[in-house]
Chain A
Amino acid sequence: AQKVTQAQTEISVVEKEDVTLDCVYETRDTTYYLFWYKQPPSGELGFLIRRNSFDEQNEISGRYSWNFQKSTSSFNFTITASQVVDSAVYFCALSEAGSNYKLTFGKGTLLTVNP
């Protein structure tokens, strides 16, 4: 069974601070995919990144970076120099290769960036 845990329910930071959102996952499959999605107050869920289980390289995209570590079953997300526009709920999700695309979401982390 697949499971995603986002232990941080809410995080509040001041603009320009760095912030890391934690994600820990459980799966018995050797082939799986990990995702991060952003849901701003408007409600629309935006795709941020996908990682497959065979690619442990960290990824950087502008102010965003992701640290995938299979040894600890974690896929953490860091925002550098946070901005007010980063305020949103961030969801980590897992999909096993044989699951017919089924996504299991964590409970989400509400990030508030204050000016």
Chain B
Amino acid sequence: AQRVTQPEKLLSVFKGAPVELKCNYSYSGSPELFWYVQYSRQRLQLLLRHISRESIKGFTADLNKGETSFHLKKPFAQEEDSAMYYCAPPLTGGSYIPTFGRGTSLIVHP
């Protein structure tokens, strides 16, 4: 089975502060994980995926197999980063049910 958990429902920081949104996974096989973001009144969209190893809008996420984590980080938060963030596994079919994390609401104060 594959499952991701996001322990924080809400993360509140000030502009310019570092941000780390936590995601832990339990996985059988080779993990493939995503971060999706939902800004206010916009649709859910991909932020980044671990296999691409990109930095999007200043965010990075490294897969740590030892800690089974895929935390999302940004060194200096901006007000426009305020959104709902979801950690997600892939769709892989069979008896596995792809379970998104419950989401973390990030609020960046001016």
Q: Specify whether A and B are partners.
A: no
- Report which B residues bind A (CB closer than 8 A): none
- Report which A residues bind B (CB closer than 8 A): none
